[in-house]
């Protein structure tokens, strides 16, 4: 895993106080857009190295992603 990958997971572990705080932190700490951040994060959720590095965060986010997908398409078993 790259340093940026580890930084993405570390940022995802933090709590956020209000609207826009996370997006500001993404831009300031990682110097990427929130859209790119979420693309990277989504890819990390499928990366075995990310799971080994931070299983609590990755599994929590995988569960959240599964719930969101089920809400969008209740007939899709993925």
Q: What is the pLDDT of residues 8-63, one digit of tens each?
A: 999 999 988 877 999 999 999 999 999 999 999 999 999 999 999 999 999 999 99
Calpha distance 78→59 (Å, rounded): 15
Question: What does pTM read for this prediction?
Answer: 0.83
Identify the helix (H) or strand (E) that includes residue 39.
helix 34-44
Report which of 34, 36, 35, 56 is spatially closest to residue 45, judged by C-alpha positions.
Answer: 56
How many domains does the chain fold into? 1
Whether residue 10 lies inside any domain: the answer is: yes
pLDDT at 64 over 90: yes
Whether residue 77 lies inside any domain: the answer is: no
Which residue segment(s) compose the domain that 62 sits in? 3-72
Whether residue 65 lies inside any domain: the answer is: yes
Give the pLDDT confidence score for residue 19 in this predicted structure.
Answer: 78
List of E strands, 4-45: none
Whether residue 78 lies inside any domain: the answer is: no
């Amino acid at each position: 895993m790259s340093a940026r990958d580890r930084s993405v997971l570390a940022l995802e572990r933090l709590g956020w106080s209000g609207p826009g705080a996370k997006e500001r932190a993404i831009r300031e700490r990682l110097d990427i857009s929130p859209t790119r951040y979420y693309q990277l994060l989504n890819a990390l959720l499928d990366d075995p190295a990310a799971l080994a590095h931070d299983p609590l965060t990755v599994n929590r986010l995988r569960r959240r992603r599964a719930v969101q997908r089920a809400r969008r398409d209740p007939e899709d078993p993925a």
